[in-house]
Structure 1
Amino acid sequence: MRDWDDACATALALPGVAMDPYYGVPVPKVAGKPILAPGREAGSFVLMVSSVEKQVLMATDPDTFWQTPHYDGYAAVLVRYGTPARDRIVAYIERSWWDRATPALRAQRGDGQRP
């Protein structure tokens, strides 16, 4: 991801995603649930993932996926902009969407499988 706009555009390309307030800031949401949010730390955004996925991502690519004490214990990981992991980041944005989307929205996507 190059920047926040790039991350949002990726999420907004998925069925049913719209920008909606989250703690007063517009973020991509599906079924009323955020997929990602701007990071409190410069140069990163927050991606909602399961706690298990978070640990795997941070262990396998700490240059891209990381956290600060603020995010410790939350099912969300910080993602640095500008790393070469674009395909992996896109895949996890799609997984975050899948975990929050309704069955009808999943059917619109057409593949029926969790990314």
Structure 2
Amino acid sequence: MSELGDWAAVNAFAAARTGAVEGRYYGGPAVMAEASGRPVVTPSREPDSFVLHIDADQKAMLLDLDPARFWETPHYQGYPALLVRYGPAEGVGEWIDRAIELAAGKPRRKTK
């Protein structure tokens, strides 16, 4: 199993998943759902983590399931995203796939 030790590794791993493409989100790098252009993973300001964009129910489950790997700062409370600490890809790939499926079903908001 591969190691997701930094943003470059996460970006390459996530962009290679079915339905994902590299893109930009708020001016920074991101992996997006190809079908909708919505973000799936983005880098974090936290030096040891990246952001996984996922729905509130799955977020709550992951925070309970493995709080050493999945966590949040006050910035992400109430937002459908959580922080994931860099480490083994094992167990994270399936959540990236779920985030792609979730994002693919949501159209991108149009700006005014």
Fold equivalence (TM over 0.5): yes
User: Relative contact order (C-alpha < 8 Å, sep 6+): which is higher?
Assistant: 2
TM-score normalised by length of structure 1 = 0.79
Unaligned runs of 5+ in 2: 106-112
Q: CA RMSD in A?
A: 1.4
Is the contact made by 2:25 and 2:39 (CA closer than 8 Å) also made in structure 1?
Answer: yes
Distance 2:43 2:80 in 1: 15
Q: Aligned residue for 1:68?
A: 73
Higher fraction of strand: 2
Runs of 4+ in 1 over 2 A off after TM superposition: 14-18
SS of 1:15 mapped into structure 2: coil
Distance 2:47 2:55 in 1: 23
Distance 2:28 2:61 in 1: 28
Percent identity for Structure 1 against Structure 2: 41
TM-score normalised by length of structure 2 = 0.81
Q: Aligned residue for 1:52?
A: 57
Q: Aligned residue for 2:108?
A: none
Q: Which amino acid aligns with 2:76?
A: Y
